[in-house]
Amino acid sequence: MVRIHIGRYRLVLLGLTLALTVSSGCVYEGPRATPEEVAVYQRDLAAKAVRYRLSLWKRVAKVGYRILTHIPKELYQGDYPYLGLVLVENNEETAMAFDLPEGRFLVVGERVPGTSCEDLAVSPGEILLGLGDYSVRDYRDYLSALYRYRPGEYVELDLSDGYDRKVRMARLDWRPVWIDFYMSSSPEINSMATPHSVVVTYGMMRFIRSDDELAVVLGHEIAHILLRHHRKMAGVNLLSNILNSILGAKLDSEIPGLGSAVVSAGIGAVESGYSRELEMQADYWGLYLAYRAGYDIDVGKDIWERFAIEVPESMIRDFWRTHPTSVERRVYISKIVEELKAGKFPTLYGDSED
């Protein structure tokens, strides 16, 4: 007597059934995309993704620079030059987006509105070969060259479109503190500060709804830097170094060389390392900075109310260990807005002044 163990052959029967189904034509019969067509469209979409990222970066740089030029004099840290261009190091995606050759060089991504370069005859995708008498191959070279000049000076930009070279004279703008602005493709709703940079994520840019909301976010991060919170949290140095290494690696993976340039510029503690008290102080001063720059700070209340609704975990203290909860922020930020609109402003000595 022969026994057939159905369970043992179930997978075989299933495979035969699928094969018969395919052979009988009971599958998708509509148009198909060829591998060649997919490759072409993938290249096109990758290029659009690069341009989209640069458009977000341009927006962050625009709002951030406007805030910097309106900070109170007691927070000035010096006279720093600023070239109003978003610059990225060449990589496969950038070369694809702008049809550039392979090589190690900086690419003009965008012109920053509100700066002297806003109307400069420079196009996104052009290669920056030099700044004045100094050759530029990467972001570190660029920073080294830039800080040999002073605000208000005109500097010669040695540019190329990949074929022909041209020269443009650009006037360097002024900023009272050295802070640069960057974009990260992380989907998390987040932003972070180091002593010389502010990084905003894709997730945050999707979350905010206006430049006013962006100003509140950037004002908070800028306040961390201006108030030197990274120095006040000496106890988190080890954690800071770890987080900074992660940040540098992340930026390097997106824009080769940028992460190391930011780290070498002197990265300290990032936002998540600050205490609740310092976070509240950054909220207070951040709103004040956005207010001074002419933005509508009423949206600060909307941000934290929406954050509490969309990320309910943020209302719980255990989840938000190093920061006030979103509910706390919603309550005290409403009070801060009222004070600022009444003409009561923060001072560096801990009290408010009328």
Q: Give the tens place of pLDDT for each residue, 125-179.
A: 999 999 999 999 999 999 999 999 999 999 999 999 878 899 999 999 999 999 9
Same domain, 217 and 347: yes
- Report the mean per-residue pLDDT for the chain: 83
Token duo for residue 338:
């009222």
Overall domain count for the chain: 2
What is the span of the domain harbouring residue 135? 79-175
The per-residue pLDDT for range 87-102, each reduced to its tens digit, is 999 988 898 889 898 8
Same domain, 210 and 346: yes
Cβ atoms 247, 259 nearer than 8 A: yes
Place of tokens 């930020």: 333
Same domain for 88 and 213, yes or no, is no
What is the reported pLDDT for 224? 92
| Average pLDDT of the segment spanning 35-44 | 88
**For residue 67, what pLDDT is reported?**
98
- Tell me, what's the pLDDT at 325? 85
Q: Are residues 184 and 165 in the same domain?
A: no
Q: Output the pLDDT for position 15.
A: 61
Handedness of CA 165, 122, 183, 340 (dihedral sign): positive
Q: What is the pLDDT of residue 350?
A: 57
- Domain boundary pick from 129, 156, 175: 175
What is the per-residue pLDDT across 273-312, written as a single tens digit (0 to 9) for each?
447 888 899 999 999 999 999 999 999 999 988 988 888 8
Query: 323 and 303 share a domain?
Result: yes
- Sequence-distant (6+) residues with CB within 8 A of 74 are 348
* Predicted confidence band of residue 326 (pLDDT cuts 50, 70, 90): confident
Query: 150-159, 225-234, 267-276, 317-326: which range is least confident on average?
Result: 267-276
* 123 shares its domain with 198: no
Most confident of 34-38, 46-50, 114-118, 247-251: 114-118
CATH number at residue 124: 2.30.42.10
- Residue 248 pLDDT more than 90? no
Evaluate if residue 103 carries a pLDDT over 60: yes
209 and 294 together in one domain: yes
Contact 130, 58 (CB under 8 A): no
Strand, coil or helix: 214 = helix
Distance CA 169, CA 154 (A): 6
223 and 127, same structural domain? no
236 confidence band (pLDDT: 50, 70, 90): very low
Tell me what pLDDT residue 57 has: 96
pLDDT at 196: 92
Task: Tell me the two tokens of residue 63.
Answer: 């709002």
- pLDDT above 60 (res 242): no
Q: Which two tokens stand for residue 54?
A: 């640069």
Residue 321 in any domain: the answer is: yes
Last residue of a domain, one of 175, 198, 213: 175
User: What pTM did the predictor assign?
Assistant: 0.81
CB 250, CB 259: distance < 8 Å: yes
Is 110 part of a structural domain of the chain?
A: yes
Query: What is d(CA 261, CA 137) in angstroms, rounded to the nearest whole number?
Result: 13
The more confident residue out of 13 and 306 is: 306
Give the mean pLDDT of 213-224: 96
Per-residue confidence band for 239, with pLDDT thresholds at 50, 70 and 90: very low
Q: Say if residue 208 is in the same domain as residue 271.
A: yes
pLDDT above 60 (res 23): no
Q: Are residues 244 and 346 in the same domain?
A: yes
| Run of H or E including 50 | helix 35-68
316 and 241 together in one domain: yes
Residue 43 lies in a domain: no
Question: Does residue 327 fall inside a structural domain?
Answer: yes
Residue after which a domain boundary falls, among 175, 208, 232: 175
Q: Tokens representing 166?
A: 């041209």
